[in-house]
Amino acid sequence: MSQTLEQLSRKNSTLSSIRGIVRTMKTLSAINAAPYEQAAQAIEKYQAGLAQAWAAFAYRMGGQQLPRVTDSQRQILVVFGSDHGLCGNYNEQLAADVAGFISRQPVQQQVELLCVGAQMQAALENGGLAPTPAMLPPASVSGLERLSGELVTRIEQLCCDQLVETVVWLAYTRRAEQGTRQSAIRQLLPLDERLLRPARHWPSRSLPDFQESPLVMLSALLRQYLFASLYRATAEAMVTENAARLALMQQAEQSVDERLDDVGRALSGVRQEAITSELMDIVIGHIHQADEED
Encode pLDDT of 112-151 as tens digits. 899 999 999 999 999 999 898 889 999 899 999 999 999 9
CA dist 184 and 171 (Å) reads: 6
Same domain, yes or no: 144 and 202:
yes
Residues 256 and 192 in one domain: no
Q: Which residue range is the domain that position 210 belongs to?
A: 27-246
| Residue 228 CB contacts under 8 Å (≥ 6 apart), including other chains | 43, 46, 47, 50
108 and 231 part of one domain? yes
Residues 233 and 273 in one domain: no
The stretch 193-215 carries a mean pLDDT of 81
Asked whether residue 235 carries a pLDDT value surpassing 80, the answer given is: yes
pLDDT for the residue numbered 228: 94
Q: Which CATH number covers residue 272?
A: 1.10.287
> If DSSP codes are grouped into helix, strand and coil, which group holds residue 50?
helix
184: number of Cβ within 10 Å: 19
Helices (H) and strands (E) in the chain, counts: 5, 4
Residues 160 and 285 in one domain: no
> Coil, helix or strand for 12?
helix
Rg (the chain; Cα; Å):
30
271 and 285 inside one domain:
yes
Q: In CATH, what number is assigned to the domain containing residue 102?
A: 3.40.1380.10
Residue 12 near residue 269, CB atoms below 8 Å:
no
What is the identity of the amino acid at 226?
L
Q: How far is CA 211 from its chain centroid?
A: 41
pTM: 0.80
Rounded to whole angstroms, the Cα distance separating 218 from 9 reads 69
Say if residue 32 is in the same domain as residue 10.
Answer: no
Q: What is the pLDDT of residue 11?
A: 81
Neighbour tally for 133: CB within 10 Å: 8
Q: Do residues 132 and 225 both lie within one domain? A: yes
Count structural domains, the chain: 2
Residue 272: strand, helix, or coil:
helix
